[in-house]
Structure 1
Amino acid sequence: MEKKRRRSESPVEDPATGKKIKLKDLRICLERLKQYPLRRKRSRSPEENPAAGEKIKLKDLRICLERLKQYPVRSKRSRSLEENPAGGKEKVREDAKTSQYLDIKNYSLIKELGEGNFGKVVLASYKIKNQLTAIKIIEKQQEEDFKYVRREASVLQIASGCPFLCRAMATFQTKSLILLALEYVSGGTLENIIEDRGRLSDKQVLFYASELVVGIQFLHKNGIIHRDLKPENILVDEQGHVKIGDFGLVCTGMYGANTRCDYYGTPGYTAPQVLLEEPYDAGADWWSFGVILYEMATNRLPFSPKGNLKKQVESIINKEPEYLDSLSTKLRDLIKQLLKKKANQRLGVNGNIRDHPFFSTVDWSNVEERRLKPPIKPSHESATGFIKKYIPFPKEDPSETRMLEGFNYVDQSWLE
């Protein structure tokens, strides 16, 4: 007995060719048809039939559309999949539950937190759950900027796999705005801790260094170089654990022998190869990490920012830092191994940094599971207790109508 064909697969006859078209293919045509308004001249433009690879006149396609109305889309079809911009296997259902997270009307802006690459970051409340989030707001301008936004959004999604990286809770857009809703990390930054405490003890440095190593290695394992590691971009949560943030300058696809040859980063934390615009790889991040360790332990940079930028750059390229007597032998050696001028000799690229004697007492499984007790309780503003003074979103620009396809995303933890 012949199996009964599912209604969702019932074909409709194409008036142009007399052939059958599956409804799913016809719906693809319908989406493309939306690009052609009902004008007299445009009505002659042909549209390709995905089923047969042939051209269908728009007037014939509209006849098919009338027939298509006989086959309403069932509720199961509402489970349409939206591609994850990260390129991963996970798909996000943009149904009624997810769409509320992707609607700008469901967010209230409370106060500006700071400026990031390509946009500003504002503390916001997701009104439906009364949940705080930090929204990065990017105004659509040059189309060239879109690739950087997509790249940052993809890394923010990948970051959900590591507890020491700031992740995206949702990414969505309006006609003139791109919005990245990030988890709100309320304990300030590592820069705040260094400013408040001055020099940190070896025990304190060990804690932050261990969590940063896990975060940096996770990025590198996924072919991502941060390129702007500095205390300002290392957030601290309410408990005192670190979260690497601001992925606006990352480069991706950095696997194996792949290198880059362009200048990005912040003076004082940037590796010599980057400053010279020579080929570099993940070693650029390990240099920056070495600078951060030096700053935590001494409350100053290894290459002084005094004088002009040119002198600082010359110092980074040609000179060695001064190592204070207060530095322990193991920490001094670790920093020296990270600040090697030649990238292929730098620890992190040349050898596993976890094997260095400075980390000999570390149980890395405890680090990865966030089981270590933070040595410093953040004193900065917590997620509760502040006065909510709502501010408006930037006004929509009606001239901006470009939309990023496959951009919408909601983290699964928000749907729970």
Structure 2
Amino acid sequence: MSAWDLAFRARRAVVTAADGSRIETACTVGVRDGRIVAVVGHDDPADADVVVDLADDEVLLPGLVDTHVHVNEPGRTEWEGFASATTAAAAGGITTLIDMPLNSIPSTVSTDALDVKRAVAEPKARIDVGFWGGAVPGNVPDLRAMHEAGVFGFKCFLLHSGVDEFPPLSPDELEEAMREIASFDGLLIVHAEDAQIIADSENAGGRDYAGFLASRPRAAENTAIADVIAASQRTGCRVHILHLSSADAVPLVAAAKKDGVRITAETCPHYLSFAAEEIADGATQFKCCPPIREADNRDALWQALSDGVIDTVVTDHSPCTTELKRFDIGDFGVAWGGIASLQVSLAAVWSEARRRGHSVADVVGWMSAATAAQVGLETKGAIAVGKDADLVVFAPDQEFVVHAEELRHRNPVSAYDDRAVTGCVRSTWLAGRRVDLDGPAQGRLLTRG
């Protein structure tokens, strides 16, 4: 009998050292029963039933952990669903995703709704899937039960969410929810835009992207984030700022961290890849909330990542049908706001990161290690002994052009359509088994802890 079920022999692999640092090195990774059991020298004997030899142009990475995905099933499966979402994720090197509590129907705001979501996901998940709960008006009594049922935390909005069945919290409701979540040391994740500032801003209607951008000003994010920080200080609740797009808020987050506030923040590939000045009028595939901002703002977000103020990069995959993007009229006021990017997120971030002098190990840190740590998935996010054998064979120098109709997303809508990117996922492995994009589902449903 062989010592290992499987071995990966790679001249380049991003592994995690004993001190937690990520290094790129030549090695052989041994796998048994779905876990990594050895990381040894590249030329050491590989006593395995199967040996996978990576090509010279390939790098072995830990699978990505995407903690911000709207799968939308049940209720809006025509927008996306667990079968299509997890297939697209696997094609893009993502081996774990955490599903948002909206835009499915019902929203995941009770244990009953969580049971519905899990029942739908289990037979379709091609990768591992966990779930966020929701914090909405009136469901404070449900929060502890959802926490005990294994959700990874609770999402809330401070303004209209875009769907009526997931209403926002008022300032008083926010603080009430935070006090309850703090009582069991849970995590609140916040869509932080101030409703009043946006209501007072310019109308978002029409084909003009500049007009849409003006309707979601940086001040709306900055004010809301300051309010969340203050409420966290009062309640002791752990908080996470979702899809940070305003670089003006970075000093607020940095100061809060320095003051001991338990706060983390994420940004998204589209904020790191695109700039408002480049978006054509009527190009509603770029509409998202908060919006894609100017090039100087994008540069500042990259700096915040480099400095460690922004902790993670996640997709905020928020798909819809082609019709809902309203390409027929190109009106930013009525088009659905959201960018689908599960399959292309790694390539998009790596393309821009390498141009700015970052390493593939940096990208692994933002998109795998830190995201796994944020939600407490201790066996994810690293190539190290004891971790799940969730692995990606990645060709960092291979260029390709994104074609929306060729992606595994349910609908052929993508802000990355016709964009040239660098970095190709050649295979994805979940618990030591290669993911067959057209084969049976092999993912597991995850719970917190």
TM-score of the superposed pair, with normalisation by structure 1:
0.26
Q: Whose helix fraction is larger, Structure 1's or Structure 2's? A: 1
TM-score of the superposed pair, with normalisation by structure 2:
0.24
Q: Which of these two proteins has the greater Rg computed from alpha carbons?
A: 1
Larger RCO: Structure 1 or Structure 2 (Cα < 8 Å, ≥ 6 residues apart)?
2
